[in-house]
Every structure is written in structure tokens, then in C-alpha cells.
Amino acid sequence: MVGAITPMVPVMHQYVTTRHIPGHELPEQTPVVRDPDNLFYLREEVGGFLVGGFELEPKTWAAGGVSWDFTQQLLPEDWELFEPVMEGALRRIPLIEQAEVIKLINGPDAMTPDGHYCLGPVPGVPGFFVAAGMSLNGIAGAGGVGKVMAEWIIDGEPSLDLHEMNIRRFGANYGNTDFVAEKAREVYHYYYHQHYPADETLWARNHRRSPLYDRLAGLGAEFGEKNGWERVNFFRPGEPSRQAADDQHQWGWGRAPYHDLIREECLAARERVALFDMTSFGKFEVSGPGALGLLQRVACNNIDRPDGSLVYTQFLNAHGGIESDLTVCRLAGDRFRIITGTSFLSNDLEWVRSHAPADGSVEVRDVTDDLACIGLWGPSARGVLGQATGDDISNDAFPYLT
């Protein structure tokens, strides 16, 4: 309608309602039951059961776009899809078998790639707000969503930090419907699973790779995923490369078996030297006659330093709260390159763009995919770099933050 990226796909979600079982009517005060082990939830409905749940192989519907005339409708019952949920409920409460089914409700629910709401002003479309992608919690969150949206529209900002729900967390790579659909399905798949600290995304992989990917794979890299990028979590020297896999769920809350490998890498960086592929980091350029003035306004550190300087800074909102945490490099008088976290690119780009003057004196350009980025860190870093360049990289000629 307005050309905005709103990353979400409809995923089928179903619950079944039954008549009450004579002599076994559920009282109105029956607690809501959630049984993650058996993937189902249950509550009382007119003395009978209402059973829903989270299938392990969720189905999307109309992922490419919902037709304009689809409104106030449900989808056909899908008993085959619902079978694992029903089996789980019967395993826990065999009595349900005796209940007569009234109907299987199948509704398309808008799931986002991370399972959080998609709220706020739409980047690049002034005056257009979105409150969608409720990801199975639209009823529970309706009151709060209505409140913060009203604040956003009337006051220009919500009263709560909604970073994790702000639509601007999704960048241009979320315009890929297949990527969004796989991520949304994965969120649904694991919805009732226990989540552990070492969990990694397993679906929707291999969308963005660094030019160093093959070199890193050859060194035994185990890859995780961040904002669509394949990133090295650690290396298993001498072993074949792989992507983080389902075995991570076996470690639970305990110490993951690769901790000793990471310890070796940390010690190498602290005591000697280590190379880091930082290509996934967000990179964008701010240029033009108004560039310095704009950055001086949004950044809390002084950006007006000599060409070639690096400035570590934050972008602050009107309350002094941190909106962005990044590094600004002055490439030339009116040309700056900003490096930010892998998942913060779209957020920070939009913050700068939304504060740019309307007179065309500033150009803001995403250069993330144009540039690789390598870090060389550790006490021996200068010595190693010195062997690769004829330039003077002594501390005097090439100090910290140049």
C-alpha cells in the first residue's frame, strides 16, 4: 500500500473446542493449563475443553501477501497439522478422548521473524504507523499496544522503551519473504520449548555470508546467525566446519562443551593476537554539506575532529536515553562512515535519517554489503600488522582511534 517493509507472515494457529462430558463438566474456574512438554494449552469452554498448541512443523498461509478481500474469515480445519497437539493433550488428559468435538478453529496469525510485535512509525513513510505482527499475543497485549501507539502518535514517542518491538529493528534484508517465513516458523516451532542461553537460530540460515566465509570454514568454524549473517561462534581446529545444530538443546543450562575452545581464543587475543571477521557489522555513510551539523546534533561526543579520526559515541534521545552505540570515522571533511552492531543497522540508519534536514544537504547510504571488516586485536597486533604493510604503524604515527 505504501511500499513499506512489514516483516511478518500469517502462520496457521488452531484450537479445538469440545462439548462438555456429562458428569465431567469443567467448572468455570478451571485454571488455564500450559503443558510445554506435550505442546498444548487448555482451558474451559462452556463446561467442555478448548485445546490449542504449537505444532513442530507450522504452516504459513498466503506468505506472499493476503488478498484484500480476506477479512473476518477463518481457514479450513487442518486436522493433520493439529494431530501432534491433540496427541499431546490426550497423553496428559486421556479423558478428552470422550469429549465430542464441536469445531477446530484455524486462524492465520501474523508472526514476525523474532516473535515480537511490530510497532511504530514506518521508516521512510512519514506519518504512517504500524501495529501488527502480534505473533500469537494480540489479545493479551491489546490494551498496552493501544496505549503506547496512542502515545507514539500524539506525543511523538511511547512512554516505554519499545526497542524490541520497534518496526525499525527490521532492515532491508527482511524484505525477503522466504527468510521472514522461515524465521517466523522457527519462532512458532520453539514457542513451547525451554529456551537456553546457548540457543542458536537453526532455520533460515545462509542468507548473508562474509567474503571470508570459506577461509573461516576451512579453519573449522562453527557458525551461528545474526541478522541473517553467518558468523563464527568459535573454531574447532582440525575438524570440519558446521552450523550450530540441534545438539545445543542437550546442554540445557549447563556449561556448553565448546567453552574450553572459546577460552583458548580469548587467551590468544589477550596474550598474543587474534583476527576477527567483523563483516556483519552495520556500516553506513553520512555525507554532504550538512553531514557534520547533523552528526553533531545526534551524537553526544564531539564529531568535529581531524580527517581520519575515529569517535566512539552514542546517539541520545531528548531524555538523554541511548538510542545508538557506535563508532564514527571521519573519512573527509563532509564524509563520515558509521560502524554499528550487526542487528542495529536499520535502527541507527533510521535515527539518522529521521533527524536529517529536509533540504537535501545530507546523504545517508547503507554500505554494509559493500565492505568487509576485519579486526586485529591483542598485544602483538602492531607487530603482526607491521609485517603486512610498509606504512608506519607505530603508536605515534597510528595512535588509538585513528
Ligand X SMILES: Cc1cc2nc3c(=O)[nH]c(=O)nc-3n(C[C@H](O)[C@H](O)[C@H](O)COP(=O)(O)OP(=O)(O)OC[C@H]3O[C@@H](n4cnc5c(N)ncnc54)[C@H](O)[C@@H]3O)c2cc1C
The footprint of ligand X (CB under 6 A) covers: 13-15, 52, 68, 71-72, 105, 107, 109, 132, 134, 136-140
Query: Which residue's CB is nearer to ligand X, number 12 or number 339?
Result: 12
Ramachandran angles phi, psi of 304, nearest 5°: -80, 75
Query: Which residue's CB is nearer to ligand X, number 140 or number 374?
Result: 140
Tell me the closest approach of the beta carbon of residue 17 to ligand X, in angstroms: 10
Query: Which residue's CB is nearer to ligand X, number 49 or number 213?
Result: 49
CB closest to ligand X, residue no: 138
Tell me the closest approach of the beta carbon of residue 185 to ligand X, in angstroms: 15
User: How far is the C-alpha of 366 from the C-alpha of 284, rounded, in Å?
Assistant: 4
* Pair 98, 18: CB distance under 8 Å: no
* Closest among 143, 129, 10, 157 to 73, alpha carbons compared: 10
Tell me the closest approach of the beta carbon of residue 191 to ligand X, in angstroms: 12
Dmax over CA atoms of the chain, in Å, equals 89
* Pair 89, 96: CB distance under 8 Å: yes
Tell me the closest approach of the beta carbon of residue 343 to ligand X, in angstroms: 24
Report long-range pairs for 64-67 (Cβ below 8 Å, ≥24 apart). 64/177, 66/10, 66/108
Torsional sign, CA 147, 152, 154, 159: positive
Query: Which residue's CB is nearer to ligand X, number 11 or number 352?
Result: 11
**Cα torsion for 62, 66, 67, 72, to the nearest 10°?**
110
Query: Which residue's CB is nearer to ligand X, number 136 or number 310?
Result: 136
C-alpha cell at 250: 542437550
Tell me the closest approach of the beta carbon of residue 122 to ligand X, in angstroms: 15
Tell me the closest approach of the beta carbon of residue 14 to ligand X, in angstroms: 6
CA distances from 162 to 144, 153, 169 (A): 11, 14, 10
Query: Which residue's CB is nearer to ligand X, number 29 or number 72?
Result: 72
The single residue listed with the C-alpha cell 552528526 is 295
Query: Which residue's CB is nearer to ligand X, number 162 or number 349?
Result: 162
* Pair 101, 16: CB distance under 8 Å: yes
Tell me the closest approach of the beta carbon of residue 11 to ligand X, in angstroms: 9
